Amino acid sequence: MSVVRKVARPLLASVFVLSGLDALRHPGPRAAQAKPLVATLAGPLGLPEDPELLVRANGAAMVTGGSMLALGRLPRIGAMALATALVPTTLAEHAFWQESDPAARAHSRTQFLKNLGLLGGLLLAAVDTEGKPGLAYRARMLGDSTRRTAASARKDTRYAAKTAKREAQLKLAHAADALR
């Protein structure tokens, strides 16, 4: 792992781990902010209509995903979990379009844009293969290799069959000559 990854992953993950721990310990204020979003999305998504429970679950996802990313253990999965947890958090906590006070709107918009920047970083972390080919590439190469091996095997089989046929014809010709 490069030095940049060793430093960048924990830096990116730290805000999520701390925010997730806070959500687990003190879900009340966040649950109040999340209540309208939970009321809107709980039914269609089949989620419980308990904002406090969902805030705690989101916090647990942030702690888990942040730890995975920071420690480099399944960091791509951890980054995707964080990205998934960040979207509802951002919508619930930083809905600047609903603010009437200009100062509060500006602050909320700044936080919203900060979270969009974090989301961009998480998406980059989710696709970072550390210079190694991704699964799709490796699967494609395996398929190509299998096709090449099968084609080579067919060619070798045809050659072996032709050679065996020629040898059999020569043996028959020698046997016929010996009988004369």
Find the mean pLDDT for residues 149-158. 92
Q: Write out the two tokens for 130.
A: 């550390």
Same domain, 72 and 138: no
Cα(49)–Cα(57) distance, integer angstroms: 13
pLDDT at 79: 95
Task: State whether 121 and 156 are in the same domain.
Answer: no
- The pLDDT assigned to 158 comes to 93
Domain match, 106 and 142 both:
no
Same domain, 153 and 121: no
Q: Residues 44, 115: one domain?
A: yes
Q: Are residues 86 and 12 in the same domain?
A: yes
pLDDT value, residue 10: 94
Q: Please, which pLDDT band fits residue 80 given cuts at 50, 70 and 90?
A: very high
Residues 37 and 76 in one domain: yes
The position carrying tokens 């494609």 is 140
Within this chain, do residues 117 and 41 fall inside the same structural domain, yes or no? yes
pTM of the predicted model as reported, rounded to 2 decimal places: 0.69
Range(s) of the domain holding residue 108: 3-127
Looking at the structure, do residues 168 and 149 belong to the same domain, yes or no?
yes
- CA angle 97–79–42, rounded 5-degree value: 50
- Which of 1-5, 63-67, 103-107, 170-174 is most confident? 63-67
Same domain, yes or no: 117 and 147: no
Residue 147: CB atoms within 10 Å: 10
Chosen domain end from 91, 108, 127 = 127
Q: What is the pLDDT of residues 35-79, one digit of tens each?
A: 888 888 888 888 888 889 999 999 999 999 999 999 999 999 999
What is the total count of domains within the chain?
A: 2
First to last CA, the chain: 78
pLDDT 10s digits, 91-140:
888 888 888 889 989 999 999 999 999 999 999 999 888 777 777 787 88
Domain boundary among 127, 148, 165: 127
Tell me the H-state helices in 72-134: 75-93, 102-127
Largest separation between any pair of C-alpha atoms in the chain:
115
H-helix segments, the chain: 3-25, 28-45, 51-71, 75-93, 102-127, 135-179
Q: What percent of the chain has pLDDT over 90?
A: 53
Let me know whether 92 and 19 are in one domain.
yes
Give the chain's mean pLDDT.
90
Per-residue pLDDT at 136: 78
Residue 1: the pLDDT is 65
Do residues 75 and 121 share a domain?
Answer: yes
Structure confidence at residue 113 (pLDDT): 94
